[in-house]
Structure 1
Amino acid sequence: MGHFTIKENQGRPKRHYNRVVGTQLILIVLSIWFFYKTVLSWNATSNTPRHQETNPQPNQENQFTLIKHLSRIIYLLPDEEETKALLTPIQTTGEQRLHDYALRTRQYKTLLEAWEDLHILSKPTTKEQDPTINTALPQILLTRPSISQTLQTTPSSLLHTYESYHSTLTCLQSLLFPWTSPYYPSHLHHRHSLHHPPHSQQRRGLVFSAGTHQLPFLLTTIPALRNLGCTLPIEIMYLGNEDLSPKARARLEALPGVITRDIRLLVSDAGWELKGWAGKPFAVLLSSFREVIFIDADAVFLVDPSVLFEDGDYKRTGALFFRDRLIMPESKRAWLASILPKPVSGLVRASTLWSGDSGHMQESGVLVIDTWRHFLALNFVCRMNGPDRDGDGWGVRGVYDMLFGDKETFWLGWELVGDIDYAFHNGSVGTMGSVQSNGPTRMRDSKDSIPVPLESVEVPLPRHEQAVLNTRPKVYTICAPQLLHLDHSGRPLWFNGWLLQNKFAEAGSELPGKFEAFVHEERGDGKDGSSWEIHPSNVHNAQIGRLDD
């Protein structure tokens, strides 16, 4: 650390300096010295400004820590053959490709964590503290020979090891996750840009992804959220002017606490195209918030969504997901075993895909994620929705050839990289609509159905989309496109599918839904064990034995 040198005057003071002036000079010097020592003491105990690149001279304690982290770098550095294998592009497809990238990402995670430990001088804690990245290590390694001596090497050899490790890590990042390079110089910088102190205004926020056609949704939803008491800042992520027009952005940014951001400026999608559902994980990863509640444009909250940050499972894991309907039984156990590195976690074994109860586990209309804690898992989800998303029809199978859109990629992305800190919200799912008891006899849409009187629910639909109700007596049935999520007490929390009977209806023909009652999902006793039936325009019938008030 630099210091000031105070030189004494040579010889006696000149006689014309009187005693008063001499006393004043002494007091001034003493005050300056006192101020200087105060500043040094303050610097030693206060936090360095966020992401400041420093050139510290390590004291004995810091040097011991530095040597410990350097020894791990030396231990982890792959040899020439291992480096070649690590950086060889993966040419497999389908399940094998996911498995291979999962293994490679786990290796990258180990290397990145060691690199981070070496460079982060002040790790984030629960206190008002920010990370500081040390970029002066090459100079320190060359100018402090005691470090290399302790490690039984030379300064030049130690620097060569350091630079070889950096090169390997950088090349591996480019192989696995090349899309963020336009905006961040490295994952080290990106991850630590996400850290914010607990009371920072930018620590938590809401993120939407939307296009111009969804503008009416957001112009309704955002004021409604403010009326519910939500004061969180909002970022609306979009994919270029053709996705969200300048005029639409101006209307959105006129709302208090709202900004719009173009993901296309933050992502390099050379060789593939960022589009549609696939933009969702990128919107979460590239927002300016550390803790994000992502909300689909057609999702409607009935309470302040900020309460999700206080959910016990979110506080424990830093990642809270929501369940899908229990529909379409399908065992994907063999498929899961083929993509996931062993051992398979207990969370996977408890999933509906493993048990075969349903081929659908997650509904991705709302996500609650601490992006700093789950940085690599989120990057892997981006990969699944980015360069590995689509097949080519010539033998290459993409993720969307194996899964229905982005929904399952979130919890599976966590599992693939070995991150099992996530939870599914333990509230029930259901639906809501209008109730009509003692309704007419209806028929199942099958040749062997027998007409049976039943108590039914029917939402009016166009003739060609008329719902066919399940033929079971004394069963309440609500027919609606909305998927309702209930809170821990069984009350409505949020739903997707917007407010219309059919959100895909042509302009001018939209009809509002009739939300008179809601029901929660129960295990049915039909052929597939489900209480749901699926009909056109994403309309679902929920059969239930009782109604919720």
Structure 2
Amino acid sequence: MLRQDYDPSEDLSGKPERLNFAELSRAERLHKALWNHVHPLYQSLSGRDRDREEQLAEMAKTRPEVNFFLKLEKRLYPWIQHGRQSSFSLHRTFKGKGLVFCAGNGQFEFVVTAIQAVRNRLKSALPIQVFHMGEDDLSKERQTYLREMAAGIEIVDVTQILNDEYMRLNGWAIKPFAMLASSFEEVMFVDADAYFLQDPAVLFEDPGYLATGALFFYDRTLFPDWTVGSDWIRSMLPIMSTFPEKSRMFNLLSAHEQESGVVLINKRTRFPGMLATCKMNGKWERDLYSYEIFHGDKETFWVGFEMVQEPYAFMRNYGGAIGELHPNNNQSVCGAQLHEDHQGRPLWWNGGLYRNKNAGVTRNLDFGYWMSGGGHQQHRERYTHDKARMIEVLIDLGLSSSDDLIMEPRDAAWDFEESCLAGAAVHTLTQREKDLANGYIAIDKIAREDGRKMDAGENPDPKKHNWDTAAS
């Protein structure tokens, strides 16, 4: 419950002296309950959205719950108040399915390659929106290039839809706000350096997504025995689903849980979860807590959904590897982070086309192999480094020692410095998968050359390239 003297006129927009995530979580759940109550009232009104909002404001004069809701929403999510008085008019604009990318000048070449891979190699017909933060972020020339290089691409300035005075966007923070601002009802965010081996449209039919309206992907299993994240989440979530206690993070098996290179959210049905995720990426929230505790935006999606008790699903597989065999170990796959579909086939990878960009190894990969990151074993729900949790597990199983646990072989293990994965079966990519992955390198060469030309003041024409047949 909110404290008895709670006043919605207090500033919950994120000023440091007011930032209390336990209180924030309660306020967001109250907003969700009121949203579900007031939304039908808004829908019953007539006229354009501006007319409806004016009628809703009049209703607030005689309906205390409507008045409370509007004040609370303005304090919680002030970036929505950008030419509108409530989130309802934004919610009514959503329709269809589509892909959302974010790119500034520094990500231009990446997003060109990623979009051409989807549009001209996989032949996906999904509409695409590319979000930026104004002309200082993505130049007019680059906007024109992206708009003209393939069919069905719209370029959108997120600050024209949401109020940047409160968001103060930079870097990763734009991602959830771009998803919110997108006109798509069912939105799939894709990182600028993420590449698919199947038409991304298959994810809209994923069983987990269809069941919950939100689909997330697991990150690699890395850096065990890190307690900061789970301790903070426990401190500010009075109510949680069954997921956190079974997560690798809570069981101290991995510091990372979610990888946000691809995220799917149905904003029609999971709007409160979308808002809560955005809240965790607001200026004060990310600077003081979210990004100080987690690595950027990644965990803000599932934690945001937990804050408002919205359902979500994770693809069952942990982050795997795609690329080439280690030169001294043919049982190790080195390269980028791979994600599988629900049937266990390679679906997409994140991290670009280089052998190991984090270590400065910028030669292109020779894509031929992949390895699963695991996640199927039962031990992920039983084995834990947390002593209190292990005692609970042993009591439940009637065992006296963790040595008595019956365990399958462990998941594959990452060598983070080398960006290699070992300890599971090595799989060979199909010929089509090899052709797709290595063909993206040819597209990337064109994108980088045009990027260099634009840096030199030239204006290359993307329509003069044959993106379909470019070969490495």
TM (norm. structure 2) is 0.75
Question: 2:415 is matched with which residue?
Answer: 533
Q: Compared with structure 1, are the counterparts of its residues 178 and 138 closer, same or farther at alpha carbon in structure 2 (3 Å cutoff)?
A: closer
Question: 1:518 is matched with which residue?
Answer: 370
**Structure 1 Cα separation of the partners of residues 61 and 322 of structure 2:** 64
Q: Is the 8 A contact 1:428 1:487 kept in 2?
A: no
One-letter amino acid of the structure 1 residue matched with residue 246 of structure 2: A
Q: Is the 8 A contact 1:207 1:234 kept in 2?
A: yes
Deviation digits for residues 61-116 of structure 1, max 9, x if unmatched? xxxxxxxxxxxxxxxxx9xx968623323589699711111101111222222111
Q: Is the 8 A contact 1:299 1:497 kept in 2?
A: yes
Q: Is the 8 A contact 1:236 1:259 kept in 2?
A: yes
Question: 2:297 is matched with which residue?
Answer: 406
**Structure 2 Cα separation of the partners of residues 436 and 505 of structure 1:** 15
Q: CA deviation at 1:478?
A: 2.2
Q: Compared with structure 1, are the counterparts of its residues 95 and 362 closer, same or farther at alpha carbon in structure 2 (3 Å cutoff)?
A: farther
Q: CA deviation at 1:386?
A: 1.0
Question: 1:263 is matched with which residue?
Answer: 158
* Partner residue of 2:243 out of 323, 347, 360: 347
* Partner residue of 2:21 out of 79, 98, 106: 98
Query: Greater relative contact order (Cα 8 A, min sep 6): structure 1 or 2?
Result: 2
1:494 aligns with 2:388: no
Bigger CA radius of gyration: 1
Q: Is the 8 A contact 2:317 2:372 kept in 1?
A: no
Q: CA deviation at 1:183?
A: 4.0
1:407 aligned counterpart, secondary structure = coil
Question: 2:401 is matched with which residue?
Answer: none
**Structure 2 Cα separation of the partners of residues 324 and 364 of structure 1:** 8
Question: 1:161 is matched with which residue?
Answer: 62
Question: 2:125 is matched with which residue?
Answer: 231
Q: Is the 8 A contact 2:8 2:71 kept in 1?
A: no
Q: Is the 8 A contact 1:235 1:261 kept in 2?
A: yes
1:388 aligned counterpart, secondary structure = helix
Q: Is the 8 A contact 2:371 2:424 kept in 1?
A: no
Question: 1:127 is matched with which residue?
Answer: none
Question: 1:302 is matched with which residue?
Answer: 197
Q: Is the 8 A contact 2:280 2:286 kept in 1?
A: no
Percent identity over the alignment is 32
Q: CA deviation at 1:490?
A: 2.5
Question: 1:11 is matched with which residue?
Answer: none
Q: Is the 8 A contact 1:120 1:132 kept in 2?
A: no
2:333 aligned counterpart, secondary structure = strand
1:87 aligns with 2:21: no
Deviation digits for residues 117-163 of structure 1, max 9, x if unmatched? 223239xxxxxxx9999669689x9xxxxxxxxxxxxxxxx98432x
Deviation digits for residues 390-424 of structure 1, max 9, x if unmatched? 44xxxxx32211111000000000001121x1100
Q: CA deviation at 1:491?
A: 2.0
One-letter amino acid of the structure 1 residue matched with residue 62 of structure 2: T
1:500-511 paired onto structure 2 within 5 Å: 500-503=354-357, 510-511=362-363
Question: 1:337 is matched with which residue?
Answer: 234
Q: Is the 8 A contact 2:166 2:283 kept in 1?
A: yes
2:419 aligned counterpart, secondary structure = strand
TM (norm. structure 1) is 0.65
Which segments of 5 or more consecutive residues in structure 2 lack a partner in the other structure?
Answer: 380-384, 386-409, 429-472
One-letter amino acid of the structure 2 residue matched with residue 280 of structure 1: K
1:170-319 paired onto structure 2 within 5 Å: 170-194=70-94, 196=95, 203-226=96-119, 227-254=121-148, 255-270=150-165, 273-319=168-214
Q: Compared with structure 1, are the counterparts of its residues 184 and 372 closer, same or farther at alpha carbon in structure 2 (3 Å cutoff)?
A: farther
Q: Compared with structure 1, are the counterparts of its residues 337 and 491 closer, same or farther at alpha carbon in structure 2 (3 Å cutoff)?
A: same
**Structure 2 Cα separation of the partners of residues 159 and 515 of structure 1:** 60
Question: 1:388 is matched with which residue?
Answer: 284
Q: Compared with structure 1, are the counterparts of its residues 82 and 191 closer, same or farther at alpha carbon in structure 2 (3 Å cutoff)?
A: farther
One-letter amino acid of the structure 2 residue matched with residue 478 of structure 1: V
Q: Compared with structure 1, are the counterparts of its residues 545 and 285 closer, same or farther at alpha carbon in structure 2 (3 Å cutoff)?
A: closer
1:366 aligned counterpart, secondary structure = strand
Q: CA deviation at 1:305?
A: 0.1
Q: Is the 8 A contact 1:390 1:399 kept in 2?
A: yes
Q: CA deviation at 1:505?
A: 8.9
